[in-house]
Homo-oligomer: A and B are copies of this chain.
Amino acid sequence: MKLQKNHQILIVGLGLLGGSYAEALTSAGYHVTAITLSQEDIDYAVERGMISRGAAFVDAELVGAADIVIFALYPHVFKNWVRENQQLFKPGAILTDVTGVKSCIVDEIQSMLRPDVEFIAAHPMAGRECSGVRNADASIFKGANYVVTPSGRNTPEAIALCEDLGRTLGFARISRLAPKEHDEIIAFVSQLTHCIAVALMTCTPSGGEHTNRLEEYTGDSFRDLTRIARLNDEMWSELFKLNKYALLHQMTVFEGELNRMRSMLELDDTEGLREMMRKSTARRALFDKKL
């Protein structure tokens, strides 16, 4: 099942990601509408031609007209929204999302959902260190990964539609993971990395008073490792909490590896260190974006 040009697409939550979806889908020729909290954001998006129209309230007509509804909300807001408004969906509508955790979302939404509507979850692995529709930018999807996370309740048709959505948005690689696998992997590649960046930024290194002006002495390595240390505390604390056990486990894995390195350094095991660095160098080559 493919996206069709006569499909009406509604985006709920017009922030950085919702706005970037809107921009990409409108550019690709689809009919896109939006519902979000602020009328100013709707006005901005309409003026920029990102959406054809929108509402700052739950507009029954917009919801009822949509063949595809994309949720770009905080996890708990998303669940509440569906619980309270699902009677408005068009029969046969496909719902999808951009939520960064899946186990707790997919099961809960699918369990409560009307049987004539299907929710197929996805996680676009793209973002920026800023938020809001004014920072929306469809180019963040270029070269990036898009992960569809179906459960046993999803139909092949909805999965195919969701994958086609990822391609239409411009993602370079579309893959599938079960929700639990997704959450384990995201705990490592995304949540742990944010924890590391925050810890680097908040700890007090030795080095006396100069560490108060660390920005004068830093190079690109520290800038790179802390770009994501500028983050939305409300969203990230919620994502961490919803994936707590997977994240704690990946922290343990990472700390074990850092301690292995520490031991090599303590024991002057230069060959061991060099072997780790060579492995790291070879493996990192796989991770370059394919632009």
Contacts and interface: CB of A to CB of B under 8 A. Distances in A.
A222 B285 contact: no
A5 to B, nearest CB: 29
A196 B198 contact: no
Contacts of A37: none
Given A207-B181, A218-B145, A198 B265 contact: no
A230 to B, nearest CB: 4
B276 A217 contact: no
Contacts of A223: 287-289
A210 interface: yes
A175 B217 contact: yes
Of A182, A196, A204, A283, most buried by chain B (CB within 10 Å of CB) is: A196
Nearest to A186: B217
A206 B256 CA distance: 13
Nearest to A203: B257
A236 B265 CA distance: 12
A198 B276 contact: yes
A219 interface: yes
Interface stretch (A44-52, A65-73, A241-249): A241-249
Interface string A81-105: 0000000000000000000000000
How many chain copies does the complex carry?
2
Interface in A190-230: 190, 192-208, 210-211, 214-230
Interface of A: 125-127, 144-145, 147, 173, 175, 177, 181-182, 184-190, 192-208, 210-211, 214-231, 233-234, 236-237, 240-241, 244, 246-251, 253-258, 260-262, 265-266, 268, 270, 273-274, 276-281, 283-289
Given A202-B279, A231-B281, 11 more contacts: A127-B219, A145-B218, A181-B210, A189-B219, A195-B258, A206-B253, A221-B228, A224-B225, A237-B270, A237-B273, A237-B277
Q: Which 7 A-B pairs have the closest CB atoms?
A: A203-B257, A125-B219, A233-B277, A184-B207, A188-B205, A201-B280, A233-B274
27 contacts: A147-B217, A184-B206, A185-B205, A185-B211, A188-B207, A188-B211, A189-B218, A194-B221, A195-B261, A198-B276, A202-B257, A202-B276, A205-B250, A205-B253, A206-B253, A221-B228, A224-B225, A225-B228, A226-B287, A229-B283, A230-B280, A230-B281, A230-B285, A233-B278, A236-B277, A240-B273, A255-B258
